[in-house]
Structure 1
Amino acid sequence: MTTFVDRVELHVAAGNGGHGCASVHREKFKPLGGPDGGNGGEGGSVTLVVDANVTTLLEYHHSPKRKAQNGKPGAGGHRTGATGESIVLPVPDGTVVLDRQGNVLADLVGHGTSFIAAAGGRGGLGNSALASARRKAPGFALLGEPGEVRDIVMELKSVADVALVGYPSAGKSSLISVLSAAKPKIADYPFTTLIPNLGVVTAGDNVYTIADVPGLIPGASQGKGLGLEFLRHVERCSVLVHVLDCATLEPGRDPLTDLETIEAELAQYGGLEDRPRLVALNKVDVPDGQDIADLTRASLEERGYRVFEVSAASRSGLRELSFALAGIVAEARAAKPVEESTRIVLRPKAVDDAGFTVTEEDGAFRVRGVKPERWVRQTDFSNDEAVGYLADRLARLGVEDQLWKVGAHEGDTVIIGPDENAVVFDWEPTMAAGAEMLGRRGEDHRFETPRPAVDRRREKAKGRDAAEDEFLAFEALSSGRPSAIDGGDDEDE
């Protein structure tokens, strides 16, 4: 059964934002009390966080699909929808996150380091948030934005200062077991080590970590054996130690040949040319082991290697090796640039940056930009008023003017968004003012302030008196008598 996994493909999906609500407040004596639709809740996100207690990606090997909760839709009474629950995925220290094309998205080193693998969608605005002096009662709300969906690859690269490399059964695991408190599985047959072992070594005042790389054989860098799967664990190390078996009985093998083979594989893998190398001639306590070490030591030193004769069984030479490694690690740490405190970097938007682009592609005009694409995703195209609102927003942003500038004409095809989720329509310049399509959409006579009742009664009375005056004037003209409205005397006078 698999107990260690250092590379997985993970499908992560953030939660969708909740839709906004289109609602009008109603109660007794207030049948049209104004818009009160609430906003939708935010969708949950998927976040990777480094956890010091996690050492393998095995959990994600068995369950490679993770999805956060969707946000809840808004409701009447200005009630905002609940935010979707986010999920936090613990990963080992040294996890590298890549996309399917191999591009590095994040390098997670250090306990608590986090990376948002999939961001939750925004909640849509309710009609109460869309109301204005012109648009007193919007009959629509914005849709929630879809959450981000992504396929990622996670690779674990051990965070170790020293890496032990060598043939299977060269004694790497045995050295770690005596140099540190680690207790790896040890046996006397090839390919015993199936997972990288990590231990902590104390040498005087210096403390460093040491790891072995299992399965290095000829052709490992091309995928033969297990080497390709675990060579990544030496990328972060400060020093390499060649563990050479001086007691091997396999034909065609000797310490010098083993060294050349392993160096060839490291060169094929690449990126390790600048790391200092040490050589540990192991198993000098067995018969003929010391003799082979004496024969090869001079040749190794001529090649520029520092050579240590060690034995995990008798523990001879381990103290010298441990302190030599501690010195190299200390020098490597001192040579690293000091990390400066976080500085706030201001990057103001360029004066001519409109926030979108319009390009001609195969006779069509494509609009790309964060705002236009988000507005399209949040528009309910089954609602004419919502479509008009989108047209107004695009016109205010300057999309209409830019289409004219790049040579678009009425009836041309306009595409907003990427290929996989684009909105396509035939451009009509008049739709720049979306209110024209719907009449005077910004005015809603239902919500105009009513005039006081006393004014209506006064106007009604004035209307009745005017009619009576016209009747009296007509009667006076017919009888030849002056009328009261003409300033004449009253009939009784």
Structure 2
Amino acid sequence: MAKFVDRVVLHVTAGRGGNGCSSIHREKFKPLGGPDGGNGGSGGSVILVVDDQVHTLLDFHFHPHAKGGNGKQGAGSNRDGAKGEDLVLKVPDGTVVLDQNGEVLADLVGVGTTFAAAAGGRGGLGNAQLASKSRKAPGFALLGEEGEERDLVLELKSVADVGLVGFPSAGKSSLVSVLSAAKPKIADYPFTTLTPNLGVVSAGDSTFVVADVPGLIPGASQGKGLGLEFLRHLERCAVLAHVVDCATLEPGRDPISDIDALEKELAEYEPALAADSGLGDLADRPRIVILNKIDIPDAADMAAFIKAEIAQRGWPVYEISAVSREGLRPLTFALAAMVKEFREAHPKSAPARQIIRPVAIDDSGFTVESDPDIDGGFIIRGIRPERWVKQTDFENDEAVGYLADRLARLGVEDKLQKLGAEPGCAVTIGDMTFDWEPMIGAGVDMPMTGRGTDLRMEQTDRVGAAERKLASRIRRGLVDPDELD
């Protein structure tokens, strides 16, 4: 049996970027022909796209994890790694993408509409791209970045012009079946309809979509019964139609009380898309009342008795029978006219313009703040320094020296010194914590060293070793600290 799913949590992970390659061109009579390491390929993204052949989120219910392809590593001879394959996920028309906090990230309406759910990681640069005047043959390459990882909530909100609301067994499914070519399940017991049914209705030159929303009951806006699961399918509707069972024999129920009970639920429900769609709350949508089952004599008498009272509310009232099809033609043209009038008064807004704000000249792109967990420590935050740390191979001294140069050019060292940072204090960037040692300024001419080495790192290691040895001698009482200069 097919299962309808209209809300899922999707865990998306984009592909990791490939590492750059560190290589030196070698051929006969040219043993050191220069760096020729290629760049790593970028990781594949995870993309959502609207497909008219998909009508439910069922696939994501059973497969909630999605991952893009990883980029390939660069190679010698300036060969770049292949880009990771994008993962394209097909979603139904009307899918809304939210973050874990409930904020709407995208409203996917219209076949072909796309949304980048997670961006692939950048590929690392090869040593051919890292060569410079001071580093003619870099002995390192940059690592690829991890792909973006996010938890998203997907909600399906039906794209319909008319939403049929009413108590269970009011005849909504029957009405859809006679107005359109849709063939929903119909039976004489409550909650026969467990999934929204859509049908396309033609009225002269006009065509509109009608949605049969599963039966609502008092308390639906607070989650009672199936209410919250399907009230969301009314958010895009231009017209709400009350389908009233005039032949109900349940005690304590009558057409007027049914309408009042459902109006209360519609007023209390707050659609998430109201502000963005421009349609307003459900309580503001045009109404029409359909008095159903007048093929039954008692129901016909009831419809004639209450019709004037309902009309006093300013709502059009139509008496119909979904079984005998009496009154369907006038109802169809009335619905088409109401949909047309509402759509003309609420035209679809144009896509929002992208606003580009230039970065201020004095914007350094990073911040430095005290570390609350480490006495005398500092935390550096910023997209660039955090990315650079992830791209660095810390087993390669030359790569670490290159990172130091980048941070110095960015102004991190000067900022730390101005804030009173002491050599050896803990500095955290991203997931890495360092013992900070002031370096030689960036951009200086570097003396020739072996590949993968940096004299500044070796000097720092020697100074650090000497300081550790002195501290050990002081702890053992071999040296009196008061006698030190």
Do they superpose with TM above 0.5? Answer: yes
Q: Distance in 2 between matches of 1:221 and 1:262?
A: 10
Task: Give the corresponding residue for 1:169.
Answer: 169
Q: Secondary structure at the match of 2:283?
A: coil
8 Å CA contact 1:283–1:311 kept in 2: the answer is: yes
Aligned-residue offset at 1:46? 0.7
Q: Distance in 2 between matches of 1:71 and 1:367?
A: 29
Task: Give the corresponding residue for 1:240.
Answer: 240
Task: Give the corresponding residue for 2:150.
Answer: 150
Q: Which runs of 4+ in 1 moved over 3 A?
A: 337-346, 404-412, 431-435, 440-446
Q: Distance in 1 between matches of 2:182 and 2:126?
A: 59
Q: Distance in 2 between matches of 1:83 and 1:250?
A: 64
User: Does 1:306 find its partner at 2:319?
Assistant: no
Query: How many matched pairs?
Result: 438
Task: Give the corresponding residue for 1:295.
Answer: 305
Q: Which amino acid aligns with 2:65?
A: K
8 Å CA contact 1:221–1:227 kept in 2: the answer is: yes
Which structure 2 residues correspond to residues 250-265 of structure 1 after superposition, within 5 A? 250-265=250-265
Aligned-residue offset at 1:342? 7.8
Which one of the candidate residues 322, 325, 329 is aligned to 1:315? 325
Which one of the candidate residues 423, 442, 452 is aligned to 2:432? 423
Aligned-residue offset at 1:401? 2.4
Task: Give the corresponding residue for 1:28.
Answer: 28
TM-score (norm 2): 0.86
Which one of the candidate residues 371, 381, 401 is aligned to 1:368? 381
Q: Which amino acid aligns with 2:412?
A: V
- Structure 2: unaligned runs, 5 residues or longer: 271-280, 452-485
Distance change (3 Å), C-alpha of 1:263 and 1:100: same
Q: Distance in 1 between matches of 2:307 and 2:69?
A: 63
Which structure 2 residues correspond to residues 29-44 of structure 1 after superposition, within 5 A? 29-44=29-44
Which one of the candidate residues 406, 428, 443 is aligned to 1:393? 406
Q: Which amino acid aligns with 1:289?
A: A
109-118 or 335-344, which deviates more: 335-344
344-353 or 146-155, which deviates more: 344-353
348-357 or 151-160, which deviates more: 348-357
Task: Give the corresponding residue for 1:451.
Answer: none
Aligned-residue offset at 1:257? 1.4
Aligned-residue offset at 1:397? 1.4
160-169 or 214-223, which deviates more: 214-223
User: Does 1:381 find its partner at 2:390?
Assistant: no
Q: Secondary structure at the match of 2:195?
A: coil
Task: Give the corresponding residue for 2:180.
Answer: 180
Q: Secondary structure at the match of 2:73?
A: coil
Q: Secondary structure at the match of 1:401?
A: helix
Task: Give the corresponding residue for 2:139.
Answer: 139
Which structure 2 residues correspond to residues 260-299 of structure 1 after superposition, within 5 A? 260-270=260-270, 271-299=281-309
8 Å CA contact 1:388–1:433 kept in 2: the answer is: no
8 Å CA contact 2:406–2:442 kept in 1: the answer is: no
Q: Distance in 1 between matches of 2:44 and 2:326?
A: 57
Q: Distance in 2 between matches of 1:268 and 1:150?
A: 32
Q: Secondary structure at the match of 2:199?
A: strand
Which structure 2 residues correspond to residues 102-141 of structure 1 after superposition, within 5 A? 102-141=102-141
Task: Give the corresponding residue for 2:202.
Answer: 202
Aligned-residue offset at 1:125? 0.5
Q: Distance in 1 between matches of 2:99 and 2:45?
A: 17
Task: Give the corresponding residue for 2:273.
Answer: none
Task: Give the corresponding residue for 1:214.
Answer: 214
Instruction: Flag the structure with larger Rg.
Output: 1
Task: Give the corresponding residue for 1:96.
Answer: 96
Q: Which amino acid aligns with 1:382?
A: E
2-11 or 154-163, which deviates more: 2-11
8 Å CA contact 2:409–2:442 kept in 1: the answer is: no
RMSD of the alignment, in Å? 2.0
Distance change (3 Å), C-alpha of 1:380 and 1:445: closer
328-337 or 227-236, which deviates more: 328-337
Q: Secondary structure at the match of 2:105?
A: strand
Aligned-residue offset at 1:134? 1.3
Q: Distance in 2 between matches of 1:91 and 1:204?
A: 32
Distance change (3 Å), C-alpha of 1:408 and 1:168: same
Q: Distance in 2 between matches of 1:307 and 1:404?
A: 78
Task: Give the corresponding residue for 1:403.
Answer: 416
Which structure 2 residues correspond to residues 8-27 of structure 1 after superposition, within 5 A? 8-27=8-27
8 Å CA contact 1:217–1:225 kept in 2: the answer is: yes
Identity %: 68
Aligned-residue offset at 1:220? 1.8
1:242-264: CA deviations, max 9, x gaps? Answer: 11100112222111111122112
8 Å CA contact 1:164–1:210 kept in 2: the answer is: yes
Task: Give the corresponding residue for 2:274.
Answer: none
Distance change (3 Å), C-alpha of 1:262 and 1:285: same
Q: Distance in 2 between matches of 1:445 and 1:390?
A: 18
Aligned-residue offset at 1:339? 4.4
Q: Secondary structure at the match of 1:288?
A: helix
Which structure 2 residues correspond to residues 348-359 of structure 1 after superposition, within 5 A? 348-359=358-369
8 Å CA contact 1:134–1:443 kept in 2: the answer is: no
1:302-361: CA deviations, max 9, x gaps? Answer: 233221111111212222222222122112211224645886754322222222222334
